[in-house]
């Protein structure tokens, strides 16, 4: 298998199906066992491994069952601020409060009302 998946949608689905099939076989699971453990039908496993489309939730269930769910982090890493965002925020004080009340327990009053 190549390190990068490229091509048409059909080519990518076929490659993903082949990789899932290899992962299943390396764990010595039948399609029926994987389907049962993932909570999907055997035909869903067959369809995915054949490179045909399926619901995303079924794909996630199969990844979870095969112990491959962590791979989604590398596929879709969390959004990080860009270098320009970091520069724009550098040295600037926040302009708004977080909205959490002060921990003093006393109600807030205007300065001129305290006197």
Domain that holds residue 41: 9-75
Read off the pLDDT of residues 20-39 as tens digits, 9 standing for 90 and up.
999 999 999 999 999 999 99
* Helix orientation angle between 56-66 and 9-26, rounded to the nearest 10 degrees: 30
**Tokens 């006393």 appear where?**
106
Comparing CA positions, the residue from 53, 20, 59, 21 lying closest to residue 40 is 59
Q: For residue 2, is pLDDT > 50?
A: no
pLDDT at 115: 58
Is 93's pLDDT higher than 90? no
The structural domain count of the chain equals: 1
Which residue in 43, 75, 78 sits closest to 62, CA to CA? 43
CATH, residue 65 = 1.10.260.40
Contact indicator for 1, 15 with CB cutoff of 8 Å: yes
Does pLDDT of 40 surpass 90?
A: yes
Domain annotation covers residue 4: no
């Amino acid at each position: 298998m190549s390190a990068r998946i490229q091509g048409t949608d059909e080519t990518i689905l076929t490659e993903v199906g082949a990789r899932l099939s290899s992962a299943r076989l390396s764990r010595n699971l039948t399609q029926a066992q994987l389907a049962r453990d993932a909570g999907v039908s055997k035909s869903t496993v067959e369809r995915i491994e054949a490179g045909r489309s399926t619901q995303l939730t079924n794909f996630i269930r199969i990844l979870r069952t095969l112990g491959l769910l962590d791979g989604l982090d590398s596929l879709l890493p969390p959004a990080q601020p860009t270098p320009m965002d970091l520069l724009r925020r550098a040295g600037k004080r926040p302009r708004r409060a977080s909205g959490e009340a002060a921990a003093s327990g006393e109600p807030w009053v205007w300065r001129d009302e305290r006197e």
